[in-house]
Structure 1
Amino acid sequence: MGSGRERPRETEAEVVTRRPPVLSTWMDQATDGIFVSDARGVYVEVNLRGCQMLGRTRDEVLGLNLREVVHPDDAHQRAVDLSKIETGQPFLSVRRLLRRDGSSFVAELSTTRLDDGRYLAFVRDITARRAAEEAVQRTEASFRALLDVLPALVVVHRQGIIVYANATAAKACGYGSPAEMVGSGVIDLVYPDDRAGVAARIRRMVETGAAEGLERERFMRRDGTHFEAEVVAFPLVFDGKPSLLAVATDATESAKLRAQLIQSDRLASIGLLAAGVAHEINNPLAYVLPNLERLAEGLASPSPDLAALQDNVRGALDGVRRVQKIVRDLGSFAREARDDTTATDVDAAVESALLLAESELRFRARVTRDFAARSRVRANEGRLVQVLLNLVVNAAHAIPEGDAAAHEVKVTTRDAPGEVRITVSDTGEGIAREHLPRLFDPFFTTKAPGSGSGLGLSVCQSIVSSFGGRIEVDSTRGVGSAFTVVLPAVAATAPPPSAPAPSTPPRERSNRPRLLLVDDERNVRNVLQALLKGRYDVTPVASVAEARERITESADWEIILCDLMMPEVTGMDLYDWVEQEHRALASRMVFMTGGAFTARARELLDRLPDRWIEKPFDFEQLLSLLDRLCEAQGGARSAP
């Protein structure tokens, strides 16, 4: 170790004697190593910590050349270091230094050139820090590798800008690669209607440092479409900087399964109520048919009793309208509901549920209505009826049959600040306290085996939650139960002006609008032709094939009134043909339907929301619809 020593080495005693006492004390108490070297790189001064770092005494360090201390693999950097030090500015470098026993440590050196030509270096052992940094880097690399292969969508953002996205996120959002997402605004990935809520969640995480629990949000794809996802988000340090990480799973499939579960529960309810509904239909039919028979007999009489015949007609009409309402409510309930919501009248939904459940209630309890809610709620009407039907049937089943006068099922509706509360209460047996926490668990039921699937209340809670509401329960064993559906209220809006009633009787005119009537049922064609003939020039046909022939002969039709579901070739097929061959006529088609039972039929009616009417229909409503369609064409040949 004598190389580089060109003058006699000072002893430790000589160096210490040469130092001012205060400086000597300060240097030896320093926690960093302090080295002073001359212009040749020979150490002429060192403190106690520097000696400890090198594993040498002060006498052994003094006179050593820097080259003897620096690890051979780092020696090539010396020329670069000197050139930077010569600028006169402090120079920070990281080098491996050798101990006396040949081991090395990682040191951070801050070197400055002094006025007298010597060099002052402060040396800090950063071996532990470097090891920790490398461990962090390895951890971050492993973490990033994990994120890269996760099947979930992962996005890391900082101050609103995406700094990382994995391949799953890029694919789900329609990007060619994750790099294309980096640098864009994270809020741009969110469906516009959901952005305010997401921005509020981001602010909370930044302010509190706490994670945000599972939420369902909609994400935008690059092509403008969107999809639902379930998201959790939390703060973390990413690439050494505070960031926010969001992990999402595409909820499209789970949403489909949820819709199927809801539909299955709905159909199960129909199966349960089928016998009762048949009973409710048979009751009015029991007096509809006799009234019609008496009407036919009276009309055949040479001197009919007109007053009695009018009573027969009124009785038959009353029964038919009652059947019409039962069938319409049952059809609306059975139809697979879409996820869209509208401002819904809660009282009407309650009445539909009570009508469907009438056979379950009749022999168990009297029904009391207490409707005081004036606000509407944003809900899907069919699904809200499903919830209320479940609650009403459960209330009925909590009461034994045979003593209806002693029991009550009561439905109340109330307005509350920003909410509407719908309560279904009963005087049944109540629910055991230990069962209350599990009421909404899937497959949990307190009914006898075979009497319930245990899915009803679970499905109800899922539906109500999707509307932004909740279900509250209050039950006392031996007294009864009350289930309250709480839903956000919709701000009141002025009702749309009602369409003016058509004038009656219609006035004959020679220039009546031409109407092509397409229906495979002869009786339907006959009655509509009779009702419309004074107002429209009606041409009835029994099939789509005949309709095509008539349209091919002449496309001069103001209205094409067509049955939606017919055997062999349907009204939907006619619409597709008209769009292809006579496009101008497509906007003049109106559909009649006794039920849209296929996805294709529902899709067409969704596209034409104001161009169809349900069978059996009110004649005045049909006339109003046809008149509006004529007026939309300019009224040149509109009905009077």
Structure 2
Amino acid sequence: MSVEPSRAPPAPCFRLLLIEDSAIAASIVQSHLDAVPWQRAELAHAETLAAGLARVKEGWDVVLLDLCLPDGEGLEVVERVREVDPHVPIVVLTGHDDVRLAERALGASVQDYLVKRSLDADALWRAIRYAVSRQQLVTQLARTMAAARENEANLHQLIARSADGVVVLDATGTVLFANPAAEALLGDGRPVAGRGCPVGLRAGETSHEVGGHAVVLDVRWVDVDWQGRPARMALLRDVTGRRRAEELRLRLERSERLAAVGQLAAGVAHEINNPLAYVVANLELLAREVRRLSGAGVATEQLAQPLLEARHGAARVMHIVRDLGVFARAEANEAIGPTDVNAVIESALNIVHAQMKHRALVVRELAPVSRVGGAEGRLTQVFVNLLINAAQSIREGRVADNLVEVRTREQDQEVIAEVVDSGCGVAEEHLPRLFEPFFTTKRAGEGTGLGLAICRSIVESWGGSIGISSKVGVGTCVRI
């Protein structure tokens, strides 16, 4: 007799109520739900708040709620649903990417806040699963507390075993109870209960430091009855790993885009170089013709100065194109040979001229120095990174008040190069980490956290060294 192989139980079918006046948005939600074949959902659609309220009591797993309806908008819509069913999980779907509104919604016991234009199937299903999971946890805790008021020790034991942190606060913000997971996530080594919460716990994601390391928490609040008096319970989930993975993914994507830009720059430099050579050659021909006519007594004064400016401009473009080509072609296996550090610095300054000109005056103190063993393209990459860092540490608009100094000198048979800026500086506690991959003190979108790590790798691969000194409000010096 054959035995059928065991099959995994089917995924639960979630009952979802969508209150949304846009048929197109409703269709998009349905398509996102259908896009994940191993998840099942039954979606009901109400086009007005009134129609939705009439169905809220039908036992839905999650209500997907638009905040802009013909007969209601904003957090009033959430409050109206809560009046009908105080416990049904609500996930807001809105067209407004408003951080303050999101925080207020999450503070009003909304499980999640999703922006329609950036919504995808994974985000929608994740919000649904988390909403159901959180509601199940809240329901379980509420039932357990109601049944165990006469046996508080058993209740504490149950919560203490939770992998998520649980914190209970009274109306004054004093911690009445914190389980071990919460103390590990919030604590400074001292018990949390009996004093004010050591960390501000806003609904949603919040971050703070524990033991010198950043911890990101997902925080959800619920009103509870604790030992016969009203209180608020925070459910804490450590999402640090998920957040770091997301940041790593974004930084890697940015690095890939930068690599693509480098390849594009090399191609553009090559394509520009040939026609630019014709322009320069023709300008030289015109200059010789103007000199010949001038020698023959023809008045050429009105031509000479514009022609000279055109020649200088074309020469500058040619230098930039050449330097850009060298920088874009920099490879790890580039041939190593005697390299003129001062010439490399000039090339790097040409490349970053646009970033620098509105921020600071550039001062060159380039002494005659010996050539060093290195690769021109890779060394250009080092100085471009350092100069861009210097520029980004200085705000635009006050050029005359700020300096970026580039110095070279030879000392004890070593060539020393320094990039010094009068920018915002770096806090002392961050200095030891500046060369770590992906560590950055810049604003979001200004850096990948890879620049200094790459610089150190390049310099040390040739037997050199690189160091940084900095003071907040004074500036930074990078020495190679």
User: What TM-score does the superposition give when structure 1 sets the normalisation length?
Assistant: 0.30
Which structure is richer in relative contact order (CA contacts within 8 A, separation 6 or more)? 2
Whose Rg is larger?
A: 1
TM-score (structure 2 length as normaliser): 0.39
